[in-house]
Amino acid sequence: AVNQLGDANEVLNERAVHVMSRMSNKLTGKDFSSGSSLASTSSSYSYAVDHSALIAGDAREVDHGLSVKLQVNKLIIQATSHENLCQNYVG
């Protein structure tokens, strides 16, 4: 029983480390980096941002993550996508 409790704590700790890492990436603008996947999104849906509408320099992916303006634009696109909105409603 004690061994099983230890295993459960290890799984919980692994999950906590993953959650903290993802939160850190979100806060630094790295969650949208080209190598990472967007959480719970279908690859068939495009998260294109109209870069022509952004001021020069705002659309760049800087060394430490996305620019604030580009990250906000991507978050707005995700928040207003029909695919993501429909997951909030049953039926």
CB 49 within 8 A of CB 74: yes
> Each residue of 22-78: pLDDT tens digit?
999 888 888 875 543 344 333 333 444 454 544 445 555 556 678 888 889 998 998
Is pLDDT above 90 for 20? yes
Contact of 76 with 32, CB cutoff 8 Å: no
pTM of the model: 0.46
At 44, is the secondary structure helix, strand, or coil? coil
Contact 78, 84 (CB under 8 A): yes
Per-residue DSSP letter, 60: -
